[in-house]
Amino acid sequence: MQINLALAQITTKLGNVQANLEKHLDYIKQAEAQKADLIVFPELSLTGYILQDLVSSVSHQPTDNDPVFKPLLEASQNLDIVVGFVDEDARHRFYIASAYLSAGRVLHVHHKVYLPTYALFDEARFFARGDSIRAFDTRFGRMGMLICEDFWHASPPYLLWLDGADILLFSSASPGRGLSRHDKLESAWWVENVNQSYANLFTSYVVHSNRVGYEDGLNFWGAATVHDPRGERLVLGPYFEEALTMATLDLNQIRRTRARLPLMRDERADLVHKELTRILSK
Amino acid sequence: MNIDLSIHTDLARKILTGFIKSEITRFGFARAVIGLSGGIDSALSCALAAEALGPENVLAIRMPYKTSSPDSLVDAEKTATRFGVRMETIEITPMVEPMIQRDPQISNLRKGNLMARSRMIVLYDQSQAFKGLVVGTSNKTEILLGYTTLWGDMASALNPIGDLYKTQVWQLSRVMGVPQSVIDKPPSADLWQGQTDESDLGFTYAEADKLLFLLVDRRYSVEDCVAAGFKKEFVDQVVERIRRSQYKRMMPPIAKLSNRTVGIDFLYLRDWGT
């Protein structure tokens, strides 16, 4: 089985959800025209990133009576869609969220678990932390979603792997930083390295969709990637430019790699559990 | 200790031209106005703006005072010609002179500030007439050292080179084709004859940039910098300059009274809604 994947690295209008929705629908049409099965948008793709006091005015619930999600859910009749948005729960807590939409339904919502609040980041000031990391079933197999800082920590991808995800969908609004004599920003270098490493370590597909554009002085570097279960990079989107990057994921590659390299089979989650229990009881 | 400040110039150029284009066009503008002094910082900003917006959309303005060096005017013209941008010359002498005449005791510092702020007035006026935004020309070294005039040369709508140390400004300028005479001459505010930045500051940009890089970018302590080979007095002097000039890098504090105060907890980016 194959997945025809579309990675939508877009720029957004800060706080203008309607304009961003229109861009989503346009990219979804383009992806459909290229026979995509799944399109993945970046972190906070419906809202923009440095929201600060805009947070409460851009939140939406992923339901079919929500004016923003209604057209997206309709569009998901033709292809599966991952979008980034601000989720508001019944107690009016706001989360950085990704929703997986398929056949008119919301299959899964992930709330960002790790909110960077240091250096240029201030997320925990404005958002609540997510408190679960779960894989979920799709028509292409079991997947897991993480958002930016979530995968700067090693444990969330590991947990998704143990929970059965063979395809990891990562989304980011990663501000470019760390210019040196190298041809890549330090932030881009770091993210590309860890994505490749996770694909290697978990013998899984690792998909990364990262936004482009500017917000005040910040740049976002794009360069969407897919790494296959061997750690090989299948595609690389352009740096800094909007693009729809297509990739074909051959799911049989998971079987071939794991037949050779049974890291999944040999993983000792029980040992991790035992040692974690000991460490946490100190 | 080897402190490497060199940058990947293609990457810097890509990010900075994209920044200029984004931060001007998202507000419905297409054009930029830049004060061209004949020095390297404004030459680099001009080169980046011309590449980002097209040279026809950049207005470079020379604003000499009667004591300005003729070389500055020539170098500014060479820069404008090199990058194909429009150039105008607006003398600030008639603006500045009446203020200077009022006080025979006026210091060089006050004169310099009058000139810098008069140039700001000209740029913002031309910005309205040309329907372009003022592109800043302050580099990271002078911003950190406070070697700037508040509401003068610090004033701009956007600044593409404010995160580049002087050393890096030189490196990128060479690649962008800034005229050789602009690159080669000693940096100067050109407020009086023979003035140079490095004699004003009492140290060289090469030394200061390496130290600032450790202190600011690498988060070295004073002790770490001394261990890395810098003289304690020099480190203390630079740290104190940074601290004393913090006010120049901020909007003035507003005294908080209400539950929501501009500048404190009314938090929106400039790019809000765009």
Query: Domain B9-192: which topology?
Result: Rossmann fold (3.40.50)
Q: pLDDT band at B185, cuts 50/70/90? A: very high
* pLDDT attached to residue B1: 82
* pLDDT attached to residue B191: 82
CB pairs below 8 Å between A and B: how many? 61
Continuous segment of H or E residues that includes residue B222: helix B222-227
Distance CA A187, CA A198 (A): 17
Query: Which among A231, A199, A220 has a CA at the least distance from the CA of A9?
Result: A220
Q: Is B57 helix (H, G, I), strand (E, B) or coil?
A: helix
- Chain A residues closer than 8 Å to B14 by CB: 239-240
* Paired tokens of B82: 């090199």
Is B266 an 8 Å CB contact of chain A? yes
Q: Is B59 helix (H, G, I), strand (E, B) or coil?
A: strand
* pLDDT attached to residue B193: 82
List pLDDT tens digits, range B6-59: 999 999 999 999 999 999 999 999 999 999 999 999 999 999 999 999 999 999
- Chain A residues closer than 8 Å to B8 by CB: 179-183
Is A14 an 8 Å CB contact of chain B? yes
Q: Which of B4, B14, B269 sits opposite A14 (nearest CB)?
A: B269
Cβ atoms of B50 and A254 within 8 Å: the answer is no
pLDDT in tens, chain A (282 residues): 999 999 999 999 999 999 999 999 999 999 999 999 999 999 999 999 999 999 999 999 999 999 999 999 999 999 999 999 999 999 999 999 999 999 999 999 999 999 999 999 999 999 999 999 999 999 999 999 999 999 999 999 999 999 999 999 999 999 999 999 999 999 999 999 999 999 999 999 999 999 999 999 999 999 999 999 999 999 999 999 999 999 999 999 999 999 999 999 999 999 999 999 999 999
* pLDDT attached to residue B214: 98
**What is A2-280's CATH superfamily?**
Carbon-nitrogen hydrolase (3.60.110.10)
Q: Which of A183, A214, A217 sits opposite B11 (nearest CB)?
A: A183
Instruction: Say what angle helices B93-101 and B108-130 make with each other, to 10 degrees.
Output: 150
Q: Do B22 and A214 touch (CB under 8 A)?
A: yes
List pLDDT tens digits, range B5-19: 999 999 999 999 999
Task: Give the distance from residue A109's alpha carbon to the nearest chain B alpha carbon, in angstroms.
Answer: 26
* ipTM of predicted complex: 0.94
